Amino acid sequence: MAVPGKAAAFRLPPLPTIREIIKLFRLRAQKQLSQNFLLDLQLTDKIVRQAGELTNAHVCEVGPGPGGITRSILNTDVAQLLLVEKDARFIPGLQMLSEAAPGKVRIVHGDILTYKMEKAFPKYLKKKWEDEPPNIHIIGNLPFSVSTPLIIKWLENVSNRDGPFFYGRTQMTLTFQKEVGERLTAKTGGKQRSRLSIMAQHLCSVENCFVIPGLAFVPQPEVDVAVVHFTPLVQPKIQQPFKLVEKVVQSAFQFRRKYCCRGIEILFPESERLKKTEQLMMEADVDPTLRPFQLSMSHFSNLCNVYRKMCDGDPNLFTYNYREELRQKKRLRKNTSHSEEIEEEEEKDNE
């Protein structure tokens, strides 16, 4: 018997199973898109629970595919569910789910990497950055091929407070290859500590929730899958622009097994490399013989702050590109070698 005055929670009506949907619409996972379907609704429910309380929330699901996680989200009685799906083959099956949940689902056929998330949700949901996170969540079983570029893009959005974070500190619950999940959450000194660890953890609280064995997916990937939850921090741990932090961190991890000073060197042109590197390491109070994975967040903060000061003193420094300098040197050697060959030929002709 229903409780008087209390609206019954929404539940999806009986529908074909995910396997039946796959058969009905003749869906096959495409290897080139690194697609893997999750058919076990107990597992999709478990993923969705990591997002927290979703009743009356506004949710964006990335790459819903045949709709397993979509069903679990709808069964939490969300206010609105936005589905962004790049592969047109999945749209008819998602429309079936939309019809089963009238007024709750909006389907966008498009690429999440280019979709304008600033317009995805009602403006009244927006909160101040210092407030609690808005009642907005991003959930997705991401294709492996897009997961790393997408999280880097969204971390930049966190830093700039735009994209999905125009509304405040929007939370995300996403899947990654197990190894990527370990990198995202690796602590100082851990064997998986990487560029991704620093970029994620300086901007977000990152939790590796649980691991799904590869055999739970169809087709079965060669790796297990990690479910990772992100909550943007009120204050980033490194108070510098995203691109500057990314450049310093990427350089530091360029030579992962060498001393950290070896990677830091490539921030500077060859003509002043040793002097500038020594200055940076000394002013940042970082031991140059530490390996990159041994550097703490405090170390990276100091490095970024000092590097910023050096860039302010030399406007051309930030635009310096180590790889471009290598390419120019290579072209110069090639042209010099070619010129010498021509001179030798001319000398022979004159003999």
Annotated binding-site members: 36, 38, 63, 85, 111, 141
C-alpha 31/C-alpha 103 separation (Å) is 34
Contact 30, 57 (CB under 8 A): no
- Whole-number Å distance between alpha carbons of 253 and 262: 9
Tokens matching residue 242: 């995203």
Given a contact cutoff of 8 angstroms between Cβ atoms, the answer to whether 156 and 241 are in contact is: no
The residue ranges of DSSP E strands in 57-170, in sequence order, are 58-62, 80-85, 105-109, 136-140
| E strand residue ranges, the chain | 37-38, 58-62, 80-85, 105-109, 136-140, 171-177, 204-212, 217-218, 225-232
Spatial distance between the Cα atoms of 227 and 141, rounded to a whole number of angstroms? 9
Tokens representing 274 are 């040793």
Q: Which residue is it, tokens 């749209």? A: 91
Q: What is the DSSP letter of 25?
A: T
**Residue 165 contacts residue 135 (beta carbons within 8 Å):** no
The alpha carbon of residue 324 and the mean position of all alpha carbons in its chain are separated, in whole angstroms, by: 26
Binding residues for S-adenosyl-L-methionine: 36, 38, 63, 85, 111, 141
Query: Which stretches of 76-179 are assigned E, i.e. beta strand?
Result: 80-85, 105-109, 136-140, 171-177
User: Where do the DSSP E strands lie in 110-196?
Assistant: 136-140, 171-177
CA triplet 131, 135, 137: central angle to 5 degrees?
A: 115
Cα 195 to chain centroid distance, Å, stands at 12
- Name beta bridge partners: 137: 59, 171
Whole-angstrom distance, CA of residue 60 vs CA of residue 82: 5
